[in-house]
Amino acid sequence: MNLEHLEIVLVHPETPRNVGSVARACKNFGVGRICIVGSPEILVDGWAKATAHSSTELLDSARFVATLEEALAPHSFAIGTANRVRKGKLPPLQLPHEVLPDLAQATRSGTCAIVFGPESRGLTDMDLACCTRLMRIPTEVDQPSLNLSQAVLVALQECWRHAKGWSPSLPPGAVPVAAIPDGSTLVSGATRSDDDAPPAFSEFDLLLARVESLMAKAGFRPYVGNPESFHLAARRSLSRGRFERRDLRTFLTMVKTLERLTGRK
């Protein structure tokens, strides 16, 4: 697990004190990136910095965006958090030890996000549909929900333990990614190039826009008449495929060829 490639994304946080406590938790466990979605005034009253203690620099460097899609655009892998089982076309909720190995692998070659929803209601189904995997933090049944900063703290401790090689989910004899300082070295003498790197969500979106345009010309109608739902499901399927950027260029070549074919018709 390369913690330097991990960003905590807070969607519409409601309590400045919680945001400050999140910054403190990030610093506790070696994560230096925070993104705040849709709460541009959350740091104004000073309470966030009051609870951040020696972590105010993380608030000063926090990335502010308007939408979750914008927050996830630079990342290649995203984990959405929830505390109850979701139904429908969303992937299943999994426990940390089931998700972290794939997150650790993803952080070796690109940046990744763990996404948390607002304190009062959590992430919506549409928010969760933007993510690659879904995770819940197990608790006693009588008190299933955690405070936002508590949830971030527990999730980051799990990531930190995995990075240190202390997690039971790390296979016996495996070398923790923390042993690879910048996450770029794969084997002795080899480095990961841009071609080898995983595509970001924004790159998948560009490919899917062209694919969906072709499908529309062919008469395709998304299920339940909801093109956004189909787009998110398709993007999630692609992002789970461990593609490299060179793979995306191959798909794009195929799409361009089909576009020329449909243009002749």
Q: Which pair of tokens denotes residue 120?
A: 């009062």
DSSP 8-state class, residue 55:
G
- In the chain, at which residue ranges do the beta strands (DSSP E only) sit? 6-11, 33-37, 63-65, 77-81, 93-94, 112-116, 133-135
Fold of 3-179: Alpha/beta knot (3.40.1280)
Whole-number pLDDT of residue 203: 73
Burial 64-89 (b: 16+ CB within 10 A, else e): ebeebbbbbebbbbbbbbbeeebeee
Cα–Cα distance, 113 to 8 (Å, whole number)? 6
Among candidates 92, 77, 69, which has minimal Cα distance to 242? 77
Number of Cβ within a 10 Å radius of residue 129: 23
Q: Which pair of tokens denotes residue 179?
A: 């042993």
Whole-number pLDDT of residue 89: 67
Cα–Cα distance, 43 to 248 (Å, whole number)? 39
Burial 29-57 (b: 16+ CB within 10 A, else e): bbbbbbbbbbbeebbeeebbbebbeebbe
Whole-number pLDDT of residue 188: 30
Whole-number pLDDT of residue 181: 38
Are 35 and 113 spatial neighbours (Cβ–Cβ below 8 Å)?
yes
Q: How far is CA 188 from CA 115, 181, 185, 263, in A?
A: 34, 14, 7, 48
Question: Would the pTM count as exceeding 0.75?
Answer: no
For the chain, what's the residue count?
Answer: 265
Whole-number pLDDT of residue 87: 58
Q: Say whether 8 sits in a helix, a strand or coil.
A: strand
DSSP string of 69-136?
HHHHTT-SEEEEE-SS---TTSPPEE-HHHHHHHHHHHHTTS-EEEEE--TTT---HHHHHTSSEEE-
| pLDDT tens across the length of the chain (265 residues) | 899 999 999 999 999 999 999 999 999 999 999 999 998 899 998 899 999 988 999 999 999 999 999 999 999 899 999 887 665 667 788 899 899 998 998 898 889 999 999 988 889 888 888 888 899 888 877 666 789 999 999 999 999 999 988 765 444 444 444 433 333 332 333 344 566 667 777 777 777 777 777 777 777 777 666 677 777 777 767 766 667 767 777 777 887 787 777 765 4
